[in-house]
Structure 1
Amino acid sequence: MSFFLTILSAGRLAYDVWQSTLVQSATSSKPHDLAATALAWGAGMRIRVSPFIFPRTVHGEKRRAFSKTWYSQHKWLEYSQSRDSVYCFACRYFSIPNASETPFTSHEGYSNWKKAMYKDGGFKGHEKSEGHTNAMYAWSEHQKNILTDSSVLEENRIYIKTVAEVVLLTAMQNLSQRGHLETDTSQNKGNFLELMELLSKHNPLIAKKMKAAGNAKYTSNTIQNEVIECLSEMVREDIIREVKESEYFSVIADETKDLKKTEQLSLVLRYYYNGAVQESFLEFQRASQLDAAGLTQNIIQCLERYGLEYRSNLVGQGYDGASVMAGKCRGVAARIKTEAKHAFYVHCNAHCLNLVIVDAVKSVPEAHCFFSLLQKLYVYMSGSYVHQKWITVQKDMYPEAPRELQRLSDTRWACRYSACKTVMDRLPAILRVLHEIDLENSGDRSVEARGLLAQIDLTFIGNLSTFRKILGEIKLLSDVLQSPSLDLAKAVDLIHALQDTLDQYRSESCFDELWQDAMDIAEQCTVASETVKRRVQRESLRLKGYFVDSPIGQHRCKEDDKDKFKREVFYPILDHVHAEMEKRFNKTNCDIMRGIQALNPKSKSFLSEEIVVSLAGLYDCDIEDLKHELYQARKVVQRRAGCGNELSSILGFTTFLESYKEVFHQLFRLCRIALALPVSSATCERSFSVLKLIKNHLRTTMTDERLSNIGVLSIERKRARSLSLDDFVTRFATRHCNRRIYLF
C-alpha cells in the first residue's frame, strides 16, 4: 500500500509512464476482445458485453453460465466472450508492479461459475485480497485525476481565449497594448493588463490565473506578439483561401510614410467571391527601395509568399499615376505585366478625378485666387479670439449647432465642396464677425478683417455658387468611385453621366439661375451687387478714322459683372473640366474597357459577340465555346427579363451565371475577371488612416511585422470578429512545446 502511494506521488509524468507500461503488458497478454480496454482505460471504462446468451458449461452435476446480474454487484468485473471467463479490470491495470498473479489477472481468467458467489472464494474472496484493495484505490484515484485534469485543461483554454479576446479587442480598436511600466505597483500598466485586471474582478477563474507565477500568466509582451501573430495568420489564411477559390484577382498598392519616416507599402487584393466583390487588405510592407524595381520585387515576393498563382491569375493592377508606378516602359505596372501578361493596369479613377479639378482650377486665374482666399479665410477664422467670436455670432444668428469652416485639402479636391457649402450657408455670420473686428481697431487683426471684407464681393459669391454646384456633382462621383464593390463598367457609366451633366450646365439658362442665386445671397448679406468701375480711358479724337496695330489705352467697355463672370470664370472652368475629363478618362475606349461594358446588362453592347470575343482573346478563352455560350446567354437573359427579373449590373449578371457556371464556363470566367479589375486605390488610402492610428507618436518604435499584423486585425475586423477561438488555442498551443500550462 505504501509503495503504491509512493508511485502516486511521483508526479504526472512518472504516473503516465507507469500506467502506459501496464496497458502494454495487459494488451499483449489478455484476450483480444478485452485488449480494447487499453484504449479506453484512461477514462476509467471497462468492457461489458452487450445482450448476449452466455454459454453453459458443466460444473459438478449442473451446467452453469455467467450471469449478467453479477455486473451490478461487482463493478470491477469484465467478461471475455472468446475465453468464456471473467477478469478484474482494477487488478489488470492498477495493481502494484510485479504483483503475484491471480485467476482474475491470468491469461485464462476465472470461469468457475459454481464457486463464483461463495463467501470466502470466487468474486468475494478476490475482493477481500490486499492486492485488489490497493488496485481499486488506485483506480478511484485515477478517475479523480482525470476529472481534475480535464477541469484544469478547460480552465486553461478559457483563460487563453480571454487573453486572445483582450488582445484582439485592443488591436481592432487601434489601442496600444503595453504600458510604460507594467510592474505590480504601477498605476497604469497599459490597456492589456488593465483590461485583464478588470476582468479578474468579475471572473474568479481569471483572478486565479492572474495570481499564478509570472511565467504562467501569459501576459508578457512576447505572448502578446505571439497571440497577435496567430490571429493575423488566421485572418490572412481566410483571405488567401477566398482568393484561391475565386481564382482571378487584382493587386492594389500605394505607399506612404509613417511617423518614423519609413515608407510603408499597403497591399490589397480585389476578387469576386460568394456573390460579392471583395477588396481585402493583406499587409503593410516596408519599402526599402522606392524605385520601380524595388517596389515590383516587394509586390511579387508578397504574392509568392502566400502561394498565389499570379502569372496566370493576376488580371489587374491598381496604382496612382506616379511615374514610378505607371511608367509605360520601366514602371511597376510594366514590369509586373512582363511576369503576368494578363495584369491590366488601371490608373486609380479617384486620383484621375482629383487631377481633373486641380488642373482645371490652375488654368483659370480667377478660380485659383478664389480658393486662395477661402484658405486665408479659414486660417483667419481659426485664431483663438476670432474663433470664439465666430461661435458666439453663430449661436446668436442660427438655431442650429455652430459649424466650423473646413480646411482645404490639397489631395482631395472634391472635399472642397464642404468648404464652399459651409461658407455660403454661414456667409452672413462671417461678414458680421469681420465687420465687428474691423470696428475694434485692434491692430493687425482689424487690418486683416478689413482686407477680407474688401475681397468678399459679388465675384466671390459667384465663385461660391459656381464651385458649390460643380464640386457637388464631382463629389458624388468621387464618393462612389471609392466604393470597394464598384466595377469598371458602372464607373465608366458614372463618369459619362458626370460629363453630360457638366455639359448641360454650359447654357444661358443654367448660368442665369446660378447668377440669380448669387444676387440673392449678395442682397441678403448687403454686398454691393455691382463692383466699383475703374476709370475708362477715352480714345483720342485725333485718331478717329485711323487704324492702329498697338494698344492705345483701355476702350470704353459696357460689359457688366454678369457677362464678365460668365466669360472669365463660369465658361472657362466648365470647358477646362470637360477637356481634362476627356484627356484623363480616354482609356475607356480600349478593348478591355469596351469588353467590360459588353458584360454590363445596361449597356447597348451587352453580350455583343464581336466585342466580347475581342476581350476573350486577351485572356486566352476558348472562342468557339464562348460563341455558343453567348447565344444561349442572350436567350436566357431575354426569357428572364420577360418574367420581370431584369439584370442591372455586371455583379448581378455574374451572380446569375454562377448558378449555371458549368454551362457558361467561359462567360462566367470573363465576368469574374471584369469584377476583379480595380476601380480605385481608395482601400489603400483607408489603410493609411488606420496606420496613423496604430503607429502614432507614442508607438513609433513598433516593428514592421507587428504593425502589419495589427493592421490586418484592425482593417479586416469583420473577419477577425468571426475567428474561432478554439482553433486559435489549438494553433497557439502547437507553436511551442514548452508551454507552462497545458492546453490540450
Structure 2
Amino acid sequence: MDKYLIRKPHTQDSSPVQDSSLVQDSSHVQDSSSSSKRIRVDFNLENLPSDPGLRQKISSYHPNNHDEIRRYYLTKGPCQPVLDVFPVSYFSEKPRRFRSDWYKGRKWLEYSIEKDAAFCFYCYLFGRQDVGKQGGGETFVTKGFKLWNQVAKLDSHVGGVNSAHSQAVKKGEDLLMEKQHIQSVLVKQSNKDKQDYRVQLNAIVDCIRFLLCRGLAFRGHDESQDHNESINEVLQTAPKNCKLTHPEIQKDIVNAIASKTSKAIIKDLDNGFFSILVDESRDISVKEQMSLVLRYVNKKGTIIERFLGIVHVASTTALSLKCAIECLLCEHNLSLSNLRGQGYDGASNMQDDINGLKTLILKENKSAFYVHCFAHQLQLTLVAVAKNHINIAEFFYVVSNLVTVVGGSCKRRDALRDAQFVKIKEDLENGVCRSGQGLNQETNLKRPGDTRWGSYYGTILNLILMFSAVVDVLEIIEVLEIIEEDGLSDQKVEARSIIRSILSFEFVFALHLMKNILGITNELSIALQKKKKLGYISGRSQRNTQQKTNLHHYRVELFYTVIDMQLQELNNRFSEANTNLLLCMACLNPSNSFVAFDKEKLIRLAKFYPSDFLGTDILALDSQLQNYIFDMRSNDFFLELQGVSELIEKLVSTRKHETYPLVYLLVKLALTLPVATATVERNFLAMKYIKNELRNRMGDRWMNDCLMVYIEKDVACSIDNETIMQRFQNMKTRRRQL
C-alpha cells in the first residue's frame, strides 16, 4: 500500500523535514492531477486566441490536447492580418514598420496586433525547447520579432533543410496527412471502400446543406445523380462505427461548411476597408449575444453586407464589446485599422461620447465614423419630440389606454374582431371596398414600442382602419356587456372617458397629423386629410386669455409647432461632423445628370479620410474631379443613373474606376458607411429560428455555425463539396480516408 498511498505520521518522532517533504510531494501530486483534469475538462477550442501574441505555450496545455490544438490552428491557418497602416517603430531615429507584403512566400509568418511583433506559426505548434538560439530561438515563439530594420533575419529563421523550423513545418504537414497515421495503417481500406466513403460523405454534406439552406443546397445535376443511384447501398453496407450520423460528426461537417463560408466572405472583401454593424440581443436561453455584420464594396462595385459571426458576451459594457469585436475580427485576419464606419442602434453603451463603444474605436481609428441607425434615429426622434408637445403627448396617452382597454382580454379582442368583420361585410355589400387576395386581412391593435421600427405608425394605421369597430367595442364595455363577465367595473368609467376623447376633433386631428409625420419616415407620403373644423374649446379657463381662432390653433400651435420641434431635434441628434459628412456624400448622387455635384464639398469629403487621401492625393483629386464630371455628363451610359450604388457598378463595368481611381475610392468610402442596422435585426430573427424553445441548450459555436450557413446560404451553396470534405477530414483523425 505504501507504493500507492502516503502514510500520515502518527508519532512526533518522525522527522519534520521528512514529513513536510512528504506533504509537499503529496500536495504537488494532487495539484498536478487536479490541474491536469481541470484543463482537460475546461479545454475549449472556441476560447483559443487567434492573435499569436495572446496564445499560451502548447506545453501549458494537457498533452492529450496537443494534437487537437495543433489541428485547430493548422486548419485555420496562420494569423496574417493586413492593416491599412502598421504601427511605427524607430531605429536610429528612422521610422520602420511591419509590411503586409512580407507574407508572400512565407506561409509560416504571423503578425500580432496586440504586441506589434512577428511570430512563427509552425515553431509555435511544433518547436523544440533544445534549439538554443538557432533561428532566433524563442524570439519567434514567445517574445516576438520586432526588428523591422533587419528583414533578412526572417529568412535566416527558416534555415536549412534540417533546421528546427523546417522540422516543425514537416511535422505540421505530417499531422494533416491521414495516410501516415498509425490508425490509418492499421485499418486497411480498399479503393472501393474509399469510393463508398466519398459517396457516403458527399451525400451527408448535401443533406446537411439542404436542411440548413432550406432546399438551396443542391447545385450540380450530374453530381447529385452520381451518388443518389448508389447511396442506399453505400449506407446499408457502411461500417457500424462509421455511419456519419453521430451528432459530433454532423457538427464537424456544419463547422467545415461555416468555416469555408466565412473564408469566402473574407476573400470577397479582399483586404479592403469595411464598416461594422453591431447589436446585441438575448437568445432563448437568456444569454446576451452580439451579432456583427460587415459592410463593404466588392470588386464588382456591389454593396455587400455579410454576417461575420455571433459572440456570447457576459458583459455589455463598451470595453467588453470592443474586446469581443477585436477578437472576432482578428479571428478572420481583419483589423480595426481598415474600419471606415460604425453602425449601431443608439444604445447608451455604444453611442456615449465619453466611454461608449464608438468613442473607444474612434480613439484608435479616426476614420471609423459613427452613424446612428437612421431607422432607429427617425423612430426615436419623431416619437420623443411628439411626446414633448402637450397635445400630442395627451394623444399617445389616450392611444395607450385604448390599446390596454380594448385588447386587455381575449373576450374584448374577440369582440373587436367581430365588430371589424361586420364592418368589412357591410362595406363589401355596399361596394365601399373590394375583395381579393391579400385584401381585408384580420388586424388588431398592438401596443407600440419606442425602439420597434414603425410600431407607432402601424398602431395609428390600424386604429384608423378599425376606428368604427373600436368605438363599438368601447360602447359595449360602457354598457357592461363584457364588464359583467370579467368583473372589471372600474373600466366602465375609463371606457367612457376614452370614447369622449377619441370622438373629439382634437384626437382625430392628432391621429392624422402623426399618421402623416410618421408616414414620411416610412416613405408613404400620405397627405393630411382635411376635416370639418369644429369649435375648439381649451381645457383651461378662458378668462383673461386671448381668444384664438381654430385655424390659428391647429395650424400654428399644433401643426407648425410639432414640425419645428421635429426639425430641431433631428438637427441636434446628428453631430456637426456627421452632418457635413452626409452633405458632402450627397454630392456624389448621379441623378438628373449629376445636378448635385459640388467639387469643393467632395474635396472636403476626402479630407475626412486622411489615411486614405494624402496631401498629394488631394491635389490630384481636384484635377481628377474636373475631368470626371465632364466625362460623366457627356457619356450616355451615366445619364439615367438613379443612385450612388448604380454609379459605382457602372464605373466598374465600364472600367472608369481605373481612369478615376481617386473618385472611385471616394465613392467606395461613401457607400461603405452604414446607414441602417436592418441586417443585424434580421440576424436576430434567424437566431430565434435556429435556437428556439426546443433547442434552447444549443452551444454558442454550434449556433454560430448554423447561423453562418443559414444566413449566408448563397455563399455556402457556392462552395463545392470536395472543399468541405477535405476540411472535414483535416479537422480530426478519421476512421476512414477519402
- The TM-score, its normalising length taken from structure 1, stands at 0.62
Residues 57-99 of structure 1: CA deviation (Å, up to 9, x unaligned): xxxxxxxxxxxxxxxxxxxxxxxxxxxxxxxxxxxxxxxxxxx
Tell me what 2:512 maps to. 465
- In structure 2, the partner of 1:608 is 599
> Are 2:276 and 1:251 equivalent residues in the alignment?
yes
Q: Deviations over 1:88-116 (max 9, x none)?
A: xxxxxxxxxxxxxxxxxxxxxxxxxxxxx
The residue type paired with residue 277 of structure 2 is: I
Amino acid at match of 1:650: V
Deviations 1:420-472 (A, max 9, x none): 11111221122122223433454326715434323322222222211111111
What TM-score do the two structures reach when normalised by structure 2? 0.63
State how 1:212-291 maps to structure 2 within 5 Å: 212-244=238-270, 247-273=272-298, 274-291=300-317
Find the residue that maps to 1:452 and give its secondary structure.
Answer: helix
Match of 1:716 in 2: 712
Q: CA deviation at 1:237?
A: 0.7
Q: 1:588 to 1:475 in 2, by over 3 A?
A: farther
Aligned residue pairs: how many? 508
Amino acid at match of 2:582: M
Match of 1:657 among 648, 651, 654: 651
Aligned ranges 1:79-90 → 2 under 5 Å: none
- 1:323 and 1:385, CA in 2 relative to 1: closer, same or farther beyond 3 A? closer
- Residue 408 of structure 1: CA displacement? 1.2
Letter in 1 for 2:714: K
For 2:329, give the aligned amino acid: L
Shift of 1:300: 1.7
Tell me the SS of whatever aligns to 2:530. helix
Residues 162 and 374 of structure 1, relative CA distance in 2, 3 Å threshold: farther
Q: Secondary structure at the match of 1:464?
A: helix
Question: In structure 1, which of residues 314, 317, 326 is the aligned counterpart of residue 342 of structure 2?
Answer: 317
Rate the CA distance shift 1:159–1:514 in 2: closer, same or farther, 3 A. farther
Deviations along 1:128-185, one digit per CA (max 9) or x if unpaired, are xxxxxxxxxxxxxxxxxxxx955554443333233223333443469xxxxxxxxxxx
Structure 2 Cα separation of the partners of residues 607 and 469 of structure 1: 33
Q: Which moved more, 1:158-167 or 1:564-573?
A: 564-573
Deviation per CA, 1:183-209: give whole Å up to 9, x if none: xxxxxxxxxxxxxxxxxxx98734751
Choose the corresponding residue for 2:500, options 446, 454, 460: 454
User: 8 Å contact 1:318–1:679 — kept in the other structure?
Assistant: yes
SS of residue in 2 equivalent to 1:410: coil
* Distance across 2 between alignment mates of 1:653 and 1:644: 7
Map of 1:165 onto structure 2: 206
Does 1:428 pair with 2:423?
no
Question: CA-atom RMSD, angstroms?
Answer: 3.3
Residues 606 and 618 in structure 2, CA contact (< 8 A), matched pair in contact too: no
Larger Rg: 1
Matches within 5 A, 1:134-533: 152-172=193-213, 205-206=231-232, 209=235, 212-244=238-270, 247-273=272-298, 274-311=300-337, 313-382=338-407, 383-398=409-424, 399=428, 400-412=440-452, 414-441=454-481, 442-443=483-484, 444=488, 447=492, 448-458=494-504, 459-476=506-523, 514-516=530-532
CA shift for structure 1 position 730 = 2.5
Cα deviations by residue, 1:11-51 (Å, 9 ceiling, x for unpaired): xxxxxxxxxxxxxxxxxxxxxxxxxxxxxxxxxxxxxxxxx
Cα contact 2:200–2:234 (8 A) shared by 1: no
Aligned pair in 2 of structure 1 residues 632, 388: CA closer, same or farther (>3 Å)?
Answer: same
Taking a change above 3 Å as real, the CA distance of residues 210 and 370 of structure 1, as seen in their structure-2 partners, is: farther
- Cα distance change, pair 630–663 in 1 and its aligned pair in 2 (3 A): same
Q: Are positions 1:620 and 2:613 aligned together?
A: yes
Cα gap change, 1:471/1:588 in structure 2, threshold over 3 Å: closer, same or farther?
Answer: farther
- Specify every segment of 5 or more residues in structure 1 that has no aligned partner in the other structure, as ranges: 1-147, 175-201, 478-500, 520-528, 538-553
- The C-alpha deviation readout for 1:384-425, integer Å capped at 9, x for no partner, is 212222222222221434322233123125332121111112
Alignment-mate amino acid for residue 455 of structure 1: S
Q: Which residue of 1 aligns with 2:633?
A: 638
SS in 2 for 1:662: helix
Q: Secondary structure at the match of 1:316?
A: strand
**Residue matched to 1:729:** 725
Give 1:688 shift: 1.7
Contact 1:360 1:580 survives alignment (8 Å): yes
Q: Distance in 2 between matches of 1:279 and 1:624?
A: 33
Whichever residue aligns with residue 375 of structure 2, its letter is: A
2:277–2:295 Cα contact (<8 Å) kept? yes
Query: How far did 1:375 drift?
Result: 2.7
State the Cα distance separating 1:736 from its structure 2 match: 2.7
Contact 1:160 1:729 in 2 (8 A): yes
Q: 3-state SS of the aligned residue for 2:311?
A: strand
Deviation at 1:366, TM superposition (A): 2.3
Cα deviation digits, residues 625-654 of structure 1 (max 9, x gap): 32332232122112215x773443322332
Deviating more after overlay: 646-655 vs 380-389: 646-655
Q: Bigger shift: 273-282 or 320-329?
A: 320-329
Query: What displacement does 1:230 show?
Result: 0.7
Deviation at 1:293, TM superposition (A): 2.2
Taking the TM superposition and a 5 Å limit, the aligned residue runs for 1:51-70 are none
Any idea what the Cα deviations from partners look like across 1:337-382, whole Å, max 9, x if unmatched?
Answer: 3333422222222222122113212201222232232233223333
Kept after mapping to 2: 8 A contact 1:435/1:449: yes
Secondary structure of the 1:397 match is helix
Rounded Cα–Cα distance in structure 1 between residues aligned with 2:522 and 2:413: 28
CA distance in 1, matches of 2:548, 2:579: 46
Contact 2:457/2:515, CA 8 A, preserved across alignment:
yes
2:597 counterpart letter in structure 1: F
Q: Does the CA contact (< 8 Å) of 1:284 and 1:708 recur in 2?
A: yes
Task: Provide the C-alpha distance between the structure 2 equivalents of 1:633 and 1:534, rounded to a whole number of angstroms.
Answer: 63
What SS is found at the alignment partner of 2:657?
A: coil
Distance 1:396 1:735 in 2: 64
Deviation of 1:732 after TM superposition, in Å, equals 1.6
What SS does structure 2 have at the residue aligned with 1:408?
coil
Does the 8 Å contact 1:515/1:562 carry over to 2? no
Please tell me whether residue 668 in structure 1 is matched to residue 664 in structure 2.
yes
User: CA shift at 1:267, angstroms?
Assistant: 0.8
Rounded Cα–Cα distance in structure 2 between residues aligned with 1:407 and 1:535: 30
What secondary structure is seen at the aligned counterpart in 1 of 2:289? strand
Match of 2:675 among 673, 679, 689: 679
The alpha-carbon deviation at position 685 of structure 1 amounts to: 2.0
Q: Give the 3 Å change call, closer, same or farther, for CA 370–535 of structure 1 in structure 2.
A: closer
**1:239 Cα deviation after fit:** 0.7
